[in-house]
Amino acid sequence: MIKLYGNPYSRANRVRWTLEEAGVPYQEENTELGPEGTRSARFLKINPNGHIPVIDDDGFMLYESVPICLYVARKHSPDGLHVKAVQDEARLLQWSVWAMTELEKHIETASLHVTWLPAAARSADKAASEQAEVKRCLGILGEAIKADGHLVAGRFTAADLIVTEVLTNLVHSGVNLGEFPEVNRYVQRHLSRPAAKKAFAGDILKPFLA
C-alpha cells in the first residue's frame, strides 16, 4: 500500500486527491511542518529537502508533489487522470509545470504579504504586484478552459486536478475568484467531485462550495 507523508494543510492535498481519484489504497502519516516533523532527523532521511509530500510506493520513494501526482496518475489511471497521446502528455506537463512555476509562485508570494507574514514584514506594494500576476494567470487559465472546461484531452485529467488544488490557496492571497466566473465554475465543479470531498478538509472546501 502507498504511504503518503503529508498533512491536510499542505501540498499533500493534491497527492491525496490524486490517490482518491485513482482509487488507490493509501495510508497517510500525518507529518507536521517544522522541527518535530519535516525537519526532524528521521524525516530528513526520507526527504533531504525537509518537505512534504513524499510517497513510499513499496520502497519506491518519491518527493515533489507534481511528479508524485503524475506518477500515480500514469500508474493507476492511465486513461483517466493521465493521457495516451504524446501531445496530450506534453500539454499535461505544460499545465502541471505552469501551475507550480507561474500560478502557485504568485499565489504564495501574494499570500505571504496579505496573510502569513507578521504585519510589520508585509509590503502592500509587493502584495499588489503579486495579486496582479495572479490575475494575469487567471486570465490565461480562463481562456484555456473556455472551449470545453478542461485543460487537456477534453476531460478531467491530472492537469485540472493540480491547477484546481493550487487555486484552493487563493483564499489567502486577497484575490477574489468571483472576478473570473469561468475559472470560478471550473474550481467549483472539480471540488464537487466525490474524490475531492474525501481528500480535503471541510474548511478548505467551504469557501468554494458555499
Ligand X SMILES: N[C@@H](CCC(=O)N[C@@H](CS)C(=O)NCC(=O)O)C(=O)O
Residues that bind ligand X (CB under 6 A): 10-11, 33, 38-39, 50-53, 64-65
Nearer to ligand X, 55 or 175 (CB): 55
Q: In what order do the strands lie in the sheet with 26-30?
A: 26-30, 2-6, 54-57, 60-63
Rg of the chain's alpha carbons, rounded to an integer?
Answer: 17
Nearer to ligand X, 7 or 77 (CB): 7
Nearer to ligand X, 53 or 114 (CB): 53
Q: Smallest distance from the beta carbon of 55 to ligand X, in angstroms? A: 11
Burial of 196 (0-12, 13-18, 19+ CB in 10 A): buried
Q: Smallest distance from the beta carbon of 71 to ligand X, in angstroms? A: 13
Beta bridge partners of 3: 27, 56
Nearer to ligand X, 37 or 139 (CB): 37
Q: Smallest distance from the beta carbon of 53 to ligand X, in angstroms? A: 6
Q: Smallest distance from the beta carbon of 118 to ligand X, in angstroms? A: 18
Residue (of 170, 152, 199) closest to 15 by Cα position: 199
Query: How far, CA to CA in Å, does 49 sit from each of 13, 26, 39, 185?
Result: 19, 23, 9, 36
